[in-house]
Amino acid sequence: MTKLCVTLTEQTPEAMLAAMRRLPAFVDMAEVRLDHIRKVRPCLSASDVERICQGKDRPIVVTNRPRREGGLNEGPEDARVESLRKAAALGAEYVDIELDSVGVLGEIRGGTQRIVSYHNFELTPPDLDNIHRNAVAVGADVVKVAVMARDIVDTLPIMALLRRHAASVPTIALSMGEEGLPTRLMGRKLGAFLVYACAEEGSEAAMGQVPCREMEHLYRFSQISAGTDIFGVVANPVAHSMSPVIHNAAFAEAGLDAVYLPFKVTEPRPFLEGYEPYDLKGLSVTIPHKEAMVPLMDEVDELTARVGALNTVVIRDGRRLGSNTDVAAALGVLESCAGRAGLLPLERCTVLLLGAGGAARAIAFGLSGRVAQMTIANRTLSRGRDLAAEVGASWCGLDEIANLRPDILVNTTSVGMYPRTDESPVPESMLRRGMVVFDAVYNPMETTLLQQAREAGCIAAAGLEWFIAQAAVQFETWTGLVAPRERMAQVVLERLSRK
**pLDDT > 70 in the chain, percent:** 99
Looking at residue 419, its pLDDT comes to: 83
Looking at residue 148, its pLDDT comes to: 98
| Stretch 170-178: mean pLDDT | 97
Sign (positive or negative) of CA dihedral 432, 435, 441, 446: positive
What's this model's pTM, rounded to 2 decimal places? 0.89
Looking at residue 445, its pLDDT comes to: 83
Phi, psi (degrees; rounded to nearest 5) at 37: -70, -40
Phi, psi (degrees; rounded to nearest 5) at 47: -70, -30
H/E element holding 232? strand 229-235
Asked, as a colleague might, if the bond just before 237 is cis with ω within 30 of 0, I would say yes
Query: 224-251, pLDDT tens digit by residue?
Result: 999 999 999 999 999 889 999 999 999 9
Residue 39 reports pLDDT greater than 70: no
Residue 40 reports pLDDT greater than 60: no
Pairing of the two strands 94-98 and 258-264: unpaired
| Stretch 292-313: mean pLDDT | 94
Looking at residue 109, its pLDDT comes to: 72
**pLDDT > 90 in the chain, percent:** 87
Please enumerate in sequence order all residues whose Cβ is within 8 A of that of 310, keeping only pairs 6 or more positions apart, or say none: 285, 290, 293, 294, 297, 300, 304, 322, 323, 324, 358
pLDDT range class, residue 122, cuts 50, 70, 90:
very high
E strand segments, 236-355: 258-264, 280-285, 299-300, 312-316, 319-323, 350-354
More confident of the two residues 47 and 3: 3
Looking at residue 442, its pLDDT comes to: 82
Select the CATH number that applies to the domain covering 3-214 from these four: 3.50.50.60, 3.20.20.70, 3.20.20.150, 3.30.930.10. Answer: 3.20.20.70
Q: Are 6 and 27 in contact (CB under 8 A)?
A: yes
| Stretch 426-441: mean pLDDT | 95
Where do the structural domains in the chain lie, given as residue ranges?
Answer: 3-214, 327-467
Residue 69 pairs in a beta bridge with: none
| Stretch 183-207: mean pLDDT | 96
Residue 461 reports pLDDT greater than 80: yes
Q: 458 exposed, middle or buried (CB, 10 Å; 0-12, 13-18, 19+)?
A: buried
| Stretch 86-98: mean pLDDT | 96
pLDDT range class, residue 284, cuts 50, 70, 90:
very high
> How far apart, in whole angstroms, are the C-alpha atoms of residue 351 and residue 332?
15
> How far apart, in whole angstroms, are the C-alpha atoms of residue 409 and residue 431?
9
Please enumerate in sequence order all residues whose Cβ is within 8 A of that of 463, keeping only pairs 6 or more positions apart, or say none: 438, 439, 440, 441, 442
| Stretch 368-378: mean pLDDT | 96
| Average pLDDT of every residue of the chain | 94
Residue 175 pairs in a beta bridge with: 147
> How far apart, in whole angstroms, are the C-alpha atoms of residue 98 and residue 77?
12
**327-467 belongs to which homologous superfamily?**
NAD(P)-binding Rossmann-like Domain (3.40.50.720)
Cα 291–296–299 angle (5° rounding)? 100
Asked, as a colleague might, if the bond just before 42 is cis with ω within 30 of 0, I would say no
Any idea which residues carry the catalytic annotation?
119, 144, 290, 326
